[in-house]
């Protein structure tokens, strides 16, 4: 097998390469860094071994020697190994050291380049690192050298004289020292400069100034790593060319408790709106062995979740059937998400209620004649729908294709949730399992967001009152309700400040 040193890009999941996604999906072992896109591991196999190998000043870190030991161990065992690194593995990513260790051990490896932050972050801030009129060259410079070196390898007189753009990686803590040395070496203090924090992400921040002022401006603005600094004439173009603007949830932290596989869409929506997202999946979907009966005798099929749709078609295909097996029956979906999942399989739902609850589906079916109904759903689901159909004289058969079980939450995840501005709940099971795991550890100012009345009832059973409830009981409705609340609160805060 091969060890793949893979660049995950600077943060925006859309900048992951097709090759990176392909390797993540097929890897048996993934050693991943801290600064990778939040959804980068969503496509990993459920059986893959995921090993955190990040480094964080003052936080948990894995020594480089241990990373290389693990690469050699798993590579020598013949496993498909992905070393997933933020940015590009060969641009200040220590990929060269890891490749040398693999070569010395005789283990095959492959390099998969990624989009590096030194180009992407300035681009998202409207700064071209080269420009026909303003910069014919660009230099990438580390602001954090190996502390074991006897002396700096950087010659500031050469950097000061460099006729183009300087891009400084990992230098936000040393910004005052770096700029002072450049000015002392002869680079003009009036030269345009910029610092980009969390570049390419929806909550990126950009501060512009001059070489002489940028360190103080960045400190006053509270800019922190990860950030890159840009010195040169092109930095002045940021105000004119900047195209990524702060979303309505900029500065807001949201915890998502939905299952990881289903939560990616919600996480993506929130991040696109500028939120910092803490993924704390409290539940996991486990497939059951329920068999799909012969469908010819049913006149109604009810599906209550996208998970049910996915597993229904998996079972149909496994038994040599496809969407044609649904011919002749009405198909009811509990909401637009379930209906969308059906469309992906070429089936248009006949019935979708206005209220995305079992009660809404009962109402929507009130004018439909039902002799025999099949309900595909989760084990332990509410009995509202089957009871209502039986009361109308229908013969109802239920098939449980999956169950929802608790997903263990780490101390790091729970600590993050305790600092969140919002925690979202998309089902009663997310409430139940999250409360069991968290043990009441919620921040005093944390606001709870419920997708609808059933989830709200589950919160109240645990002694919690939701601050926000979606009027439309789907992911779009939950996001809309959260944004309205956040904007209103920010507006009130701005009013008090003025």
Q: What is the pLDDT of residues 397-454, one digit of tens each?
A: 999 999 999 988 888 888 889 999 999 999 999 999 999 988 777 888 899 999 999 9
Please report the DSSP string for 299-336 in residue order: SEEEE-SHHHHHHHHHHHHHTT--GGGGTTSEEEESSH
What's the pLDDT at 148? 62
Stated pTM of the model: 0.72
Query: Hey, which residues does 254 pair with through a beta bridge?
Result: 277, 422
Q: How far apart are CA 406 and CA 284, in angstroms?
A: 6
Contacts of 252 (CB under 8 A, 6+ apart): 274, 275, 276, 421, 422, 486
Residue 376 maps to which CATH number? 3.40.50.10090
Task: Please spell the DSSP secondary structure of 366-388, one letter per residue.
Answer: TTS--SEEEEEEETT--SHHHHH
Nearest to 356 by CA among 431, 416, 303: 303
Is 136 a residue whose pLDDT tops 70?
A: yes
**Structural domain contains residue 430:** yes
Does residue 492 register a pLDDT over 90?
no
Contacts of 192 (CB under 8 A, 6+ apart): 208, 209, 210, 211, 231, 232, 233, 234, 235, 236
Return the pLDDT at 244.
Answer: 83
Rounded to 10 degrees, what is the CA torsion of 437, 442, 447, 450? 10
* Confidence check: pLDDT of 59 > 70: no
246 found inside a domain: no
Do 186 and 140 belong together in one domain? yes
293 and 398 inside one domain: yes
* Same domain assignment for residues 107 and 138: no
Residue 467 confidence (pLDDT): 96
pLDDT of residue 367: 84
* Residue 147 pLDDT greater than 80, yes or no: no
Q: Does the residue 152 lie in any domain?
A: yes
Tell me the two tokens of residue 14. Answer: 């859309």
Q: How many domains does the chain have?
A: 4
The predicted-structure confidence for 284-293, as pLDDT tens digits, reads as follows 889 998 789 9
Q: Is the pLDDT of residue 155 over 80?
A: yes
Of 88-102, 147-161, 397-411, 476-490, the least confident: 147-161
Dihedral, CA of residue 55, residue 116, residue 165 and residue 94, to nearest 10? 40
Provide the 3-class DSSP secondary structure of residue 451. Answer: coil
pLDDT computed for residue 200 by the predictor: 92
**Distance between CA atoms of 127 and 397, rounded to whole angstroms?**
61
Q: Which of 70, 89, 115 is the last residue of a domain?
A: 115
Q: For the CA atoms of 181, 185, 188, 189, what is the dihedral angle to 10 degrees?
A: 30
How is residue 135 annotated by DSSP?
B
Are 64 and 205 contained in the same domain?
no
Predicted confidence at residue 58, as pLDDT, reads 52
Find the domain containing 332 and state its range: 286-404
User: Annotated active-site positions, please?
Assistant: 33, 55, 170
Per the model's pLDDT, the better-predicted residue between 379 and 151 turns out to be 379
Q: Once rounded to an integer, what is the mean pLDDT over residues 187-207?
A: 93
243 dihedral zone (left: phi>0; alpha: psi -120 to 50; beta): alpha
- Whether residues 123 and 234 share a domain: the answer is yes
Spell out the alpha helix ranges (H) of 334-452.
336-343, 358-364, 384-391, 411-418, 428-438
Of 6, 1, 26, give the one whose Cα is nearest residue 77. Answer: 1
Amino acid 498: pLDDT: 38
Last residue within a domain, chosen from 346, 371, 404: 404
Of all residues in the chain, the percent with pLDDT exceeding 70 is 96
Return d(Cα 309, Cα 333) in angstroms, integer: 9
For residue 161, pLDDT over 70 is answered with yes
The residue out of 373, 404, 435 marking a domain boundary is: 404
What is the model's pLDDT at position 46? Answer: 82
Residues 201 and 270 in one domain: no
Is 389 inside any structural domain?
yes
- Are residues 9 and 96 located together in one domain of the fold? yes
Same domain as 310, residue 269: no
Whole-angstrom distance, CA of residue 251 vs CA of residue 277: 11
C-beta separation of 8 from 37 below 8 A: yes
Q: Give the β-pairing of 192-197 and 227-231.
A: antiparallel
pLDDT in tens, 327-348: 999 999 998 889 999 999 999 9
- More confident position, 367 or 321: 321
Same domain, 221 and 300: no
The predicted pLDDT at position 496 comes to 47
- The answer to whether residue 149 scores a pLDDT higher than 70 is no
- For the chain, the average pLDDT equals 91
Q: Is residue 265 part of a domain?
A: yes
Shared domain check, 387 and 307: yes
Q: Residue 419 to residues 97, 181, 441: CA-CA distances in angstroms? A: 37, 38, 10
490 pLDDT exceeds 80?
no
CATH code: domain of residue 55 = 3.40.1010.10
Are residue 98 and residue 7 in the same domain, yes or no?
yes
Q: Is residue 247 part of a domain?
A: no
Q: Are both 61 and 87 inside the same structural domain? A: yes
């Amino acid at each position: 097998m091969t060890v793949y040193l893979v660049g995950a890009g600077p943060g925006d999941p859309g900048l992951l390469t097709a090759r990176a996604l392909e390797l993540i999906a097929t890897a048996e072992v993934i050693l991943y860094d801290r600064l990778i896109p939040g959804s980068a591991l969503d496509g990993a196999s459920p059986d893959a071994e995921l090993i955190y190998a990040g480094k964080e000043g003052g936080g948990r870190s894995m020594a480089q020697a241990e990373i290389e030991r693990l690469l050699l161990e798993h590579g020598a065992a013949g496993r498909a190994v992905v070393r997933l690194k933020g940015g590009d593995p060969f641009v200040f990513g220590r990929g060269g050291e890891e490749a040398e260790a693999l070569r010395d051990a005789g283990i095959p490896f492959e390099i998969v380049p990624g989009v590096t932050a030194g180009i992407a972050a300035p681009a998202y801030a409207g700064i071209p690192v080269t420009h026909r009129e303003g910069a014919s060259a660009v230099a990438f410079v580390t602001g954090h050298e190996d502390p074991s070196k006897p002396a700096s390898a950087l010659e500031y007189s050469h950097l000061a004289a460099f006729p183009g753009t300087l891009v400084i990686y990992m230098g936000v803590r040393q910004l005052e020292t770096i700029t002072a040395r450049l000015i002392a070496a002869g680079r003009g203090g009036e030269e345009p400069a910029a610092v980009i924090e969390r570049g390419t992400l929806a909550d990126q921040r950009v501060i512009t100034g001059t070489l002489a002022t940028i360190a103080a401006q960045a400190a006053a603005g509270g800019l922190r790593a990860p950030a890159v600094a840009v010195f040169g004439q092109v930095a002045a173009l940021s105000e004119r060319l900047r195209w990524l603007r702060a979303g309505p949830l900029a500065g807001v932290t949201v915890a998502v408790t939905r299952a990881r596989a289903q939560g990616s869409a919600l996480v993506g929506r929130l991040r696109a709106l500028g939120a910092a997202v803490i993924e704390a999946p409290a539940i996991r979907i486990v497939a059951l062995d329920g068999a799909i009966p012969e469908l010819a005798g049913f006149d109604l099929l009810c599906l209550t979740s996208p998970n049910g749709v996915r597993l229904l078609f998996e079972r149909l295909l496994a038994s040599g059937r496809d969407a044609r097996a649904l011919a002749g029956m009405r198909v009811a979906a509990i909401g637009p998400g379930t209906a969308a999942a059906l469309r992906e399989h070429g089936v248009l739902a006949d019935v979708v209620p206005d209220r995305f609850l079992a009660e809404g589906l009962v109402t929507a079916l009130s004018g439909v004649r039902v002799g025999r109904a099949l309900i595909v759903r989760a084990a332990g689901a509410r009995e509202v729908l089957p009871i209502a159909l039986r009361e109308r004289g229908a013969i109802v058969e239920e098939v449980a294709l999956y169950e929802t079980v608790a997903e263990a939450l780490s101390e790091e995840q729970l600590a993050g949730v305790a600092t969140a501005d919002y925690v979202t709940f998309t089902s009663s099971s997310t409430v139940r399992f999250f409360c069991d795991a968290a043990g009441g550890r919620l921040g005093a100012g944390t606001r709870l967001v419920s997708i609808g009345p059933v989830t709200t009832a589950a919160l109240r059973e645990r002694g919690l009152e939701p601050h926000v409830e979606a009027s439309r009981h789907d992911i779009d409705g939950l996001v809309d309700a959260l944004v309205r609340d956040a904007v209103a609160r920010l507006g009130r805060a701005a009013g008090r400040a003025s």
